Structure formats: structure tokens, C-alpha cells
Amino acid sequence: MARQTLRDGLLGLIRRTPVVDCHSHTMLRRDYCQEQWSLFNLMSYFARDIASVTGKDVGTLMDGAKNDQERWERLKGVLEKSRNVSYWRHYILMYQELFGLKGDDLTDRNWKGVNEQIKKKAGGATWYDDITRKRCRIKTAVRNIPWFEDWEPEYFTAVLRMESALALYEKPTRDALAKHVGMSIGSLKAAKAALAKLTEQYAAQGAVGVKLAHAYRRTLASEPVSEATASRIFRKALAGKELSWPEAKQVEDHIIFFLGELASDMDLVFQIHTGVQGNYSVIPDSNPLHLIPLLLAFPRVKFDLFHAGYPYSREMGMLGKHHPNTYLNMCWMYVITMEGSRRSLAEWIDLVPGHRLLGFGSDVGTPEFILSHLRMAESCLADVLARKVERDFLSKTAATDLVRMMLHDNACELYGLEGNR
């Protein structure tokens, strides 16, 4: 009974605490409101399990279906094989809280009602605000902004996405950057100057960091490469010659370290995707321990490490313990695995000073999925903090402080969001 009370009390506190969404890809409101939503396109990460079960993306799966009944039959076929996964439970919570689902799963009997409700409610402009601001209590969401795109500052805080910077040895990427900043790129030095100019432009408009998600396609391991070596290889690319992967990697590594310099000079947060990738990926490439040379090279830069490094969360905990320039970000994690989230947090709270733990990042496309992700996060946080108090001698003061720190204050501090405090 006491345990229930403690957890409930913490959950109540969590549900009253304002939130900074520490990693977002949410659609801009203007785009979200253009869309016609239904049960069959209001989708998030379960699309990846659909691909894993059927070998098809959602569009291909639904291709040629004459009506919603047929679409439901196809989705049901996938659910029969995979409704256990966390990515699906993320949807269930959303259907329950927002679209009138009474039961604990979608069935032949209730799918139509949910579909109707989605068609009626989703896509509305006030709906967008109601969910993000009222139900989720989100002050701002730190959003990935691809090169040359803009954002809605009333909802988002920008971080400039930098995978394209690693691909500057490719002509189309180079030409696009040169055109945008109005500079010609005839050398590696000029490419770096153009990158600096682009970053300055975004920072001047309020961007607070740069982000790399290169672990989706290559190893996080990078090492310092001299400008002479990188320039020689870059000249080869400028001459239109194909680079081998070891050559391309040296240029990429050089740029990764250059981004570290930029972050240091311009006082920007350096966000890096670690852990969890897509189907058929090379999982060890995403191990955050590969980042140690970079972390050591830039002790003044604040590295914001994503996705709990899962499955390398324990490694991430030790990075947090021994590298004071790292921030451990739980973005995406609760929808990946609630059990893994609880274990990661339970260990990190033992290891890492709490001011460097970031408790929530939605990492989804629409407000509805932010909400159900946040509900999973709230539940895990309450579970973990209650257990730490009861079994591991964590004081109640420390536990309640952590709630506000992990959901709000740490992010304000890290991203410099004074206005949102």
C-alpha cells in the first residue's frame, strides 16, 4: 500500500510538471493541418515492425485496398503476428486517451469507432495546441531542422541537422550549400567556411545546437584526421573522382571533428544519435563508446547523447559518469522498451549527477504520438523513482528534485532556454 502511495504521489507530481521535449521531429503545425488523417496513416514506429513482419512499408501494404474494411484486414494480419511489441502499445495508449478506444487492444468490433474519431479530430489547429501545450505541458520541443528548412519558433527550438556536412565530397550536396550561403566551394577549407557560415546563420536565428545521426549508416568511431590529408582526398572528389570508403571516412572524420570545433567556438550543443537503428543495420556501429576520442578532444563542448545508447545503456551510464561533458538523453526510449528504459534510468540515477539526465524526447511525427510516448515516460519515471526511494536509499527530496530536473530544468540549462523557465 505504501509503495502504491509513493508511486502515485510521484506520478501526480510528474503529471503536473512542465516538459521540454528534448528531441523532436514533430510536423510543423502548418503541414500537420493539411493532412487527412485516418487509422491507416496516423502511424509512428510500428511501421518499422510492419516492414519487419511483411517486408513492405505501410503504403505498399495498403496499396490497392478498396476501402477501410480491406485496410483493416491487412493491418489485422500484421497485428496477429506482432501486437506484443512496444511500438504497437504506443498506438493503443493514444487510441485510448484521444480516440475513444475502450478496450485494451484494437479488434474487429472497435476499429471503426477509432477510425471515425481520428478522421474527425486529428488535423485540427486547436487540436495540435491542445495536445502539445495542454495535455503534454510542453514548453518547447528541440527539433531537428534539416539544411535550409525553417521551423515554427512558437513551438520549437532548432538544432541544425548535419549529416549533409559529412557528404560534402558529393557534388550535389556541395552545390546546394554553396548556393545557399553564396560562396564557391573549391577546397576543403572553403567547404568548412561555408559550413561555418550556414551554422552561424541558423544560430543567429536561435538554433541551439548541431546534430549528427551518422550511426544509421556508418560507425560512430572517428579519429582526428589532419587537414592536409583530408584536403588531398577532398581534391580528388572535387576532380570528379570516386572515393573509396576508407578515403571518404577520413574526410567525414575530419568534418566531425570540425563540427566539434564549431560547437566549441559558437557555444552550441552537439547532439549525436547513438544506439537503435533501422532494420538490417550493424548494431555495434552505434555503440556510444566509439565517441570517446571526440569527447576527449572537446572537453568544453556539451555532448547530448541520444536514445540511451540502447542497447548500450550501461556503457552510456559509464560515459555519463566519467565524461562530465556528456548529457544522457532518453529520447525515443520509452516507446522502444519500457523495461529497458526503467533499467537504464535505475542504473544512471546511481551513477550520473542528475543535472545531466534528460528525461524525455518524443522523437515522433505528430502530437498524438507525443502524448502516448509521454504517458509511457511518466509511468516509467514514477516506477523507477519510487523503487529507488524504497530499495536503494534515494531520498524523497532527491527523487522529487529529479522529476523537475529531468523533465524541464536540465533541458532549459543545457539548451539555454531562459525564457522557458
Supply the minimum distance, in Å, between the C-beta of residue 17 and Zn ion: 23
What does the angle CA 178 – CA 179 – CA 183 come to, to the nearest 5 degrees?
Answer: 50
Q: Which is nearer to Zn ion, 49 or 363 (CB)?
A: 363
Number of chain residues interacting with Zn ion (CB under 5 A): 1
Q: Which is nearer to Zn ion, 75 or 376 (CB)?
A: 376
Please give the residue whose beta carbon sits closest to Zn ion in the complex. Answer: 363
Decide the pairing of beta strands 209-212 and 156-161. parallel
Residue type, 178: A
Q: What is the torsional sign of CA 413, 416, 420, 421?
A: positive
Q: Which is nearer to Zn ion, 79 or 374 (CB)?
A: 374
Q: Which is nearer to Zn ion, 304 or 363 (CB)?
A: 363
Supply the minimum distance, in Å, between the C-beta of residue 305 and Zn ion: 13
Give which of 276, 383, 291 is closest to 339, Cα–Cα.
383
Q: Which is nearer to Zn ion, 44 or 115 (CB)?
A: 44
- The rounded distance, in Å, linking the Cα atoms of 268 and 160 is 10
Decide the pairing of beta strands 326-329 and 357-358. parallel
Q: Which is nearer to Zn ion, 363 or 368 (CB)?
A: 363
Decide the pairing of beta strands 209-212 and 269-272. parallel
Q: Which is nearer to Zn ion, 142 or 394 (CB)?
A: 142
Supply the minimum distance, in Å, between the C-beta of residue 221 and Zn ion: 21
Q: Which of residues 337-396 bind Zn ion (CB under 5 A)?
A: 363
Supply the minimum distance, in Å, between the C-beta of residue 84 and Zn ion: 24
Residue type, 327: Y
Sheet hosting strand 138-145, strand order edge to edge = 19-24, 138-145, 156-161, 209-212, 269-272, 303-305, 326-329, 357-358
Supply the minimum distance, in Å, between the C-beta of residue 144 and Zn ion: 6
| 304 makes contact with Zn ion (CB under 5 A) | no
- The rounded distance, in Å, linking the Cα atoms of 338 and 310 is 12
Supply the minimum distance, in Å, between the C-beta of residue 143 and Zn ion: 10
Asked whether 286 and 217 are in contact (CB, 8 A), the reply is no
Helices 2-16, 367-391: axis angle to 10 degrees equals: 140
User: 396 in helix, strand or coil?
Assistant: helix
Supply the minimum distance, in Å, between the C-beta of residue 228 and Zn ion: 35
- What residues make contact with Zn ion under the rule CB under 5 A? 363
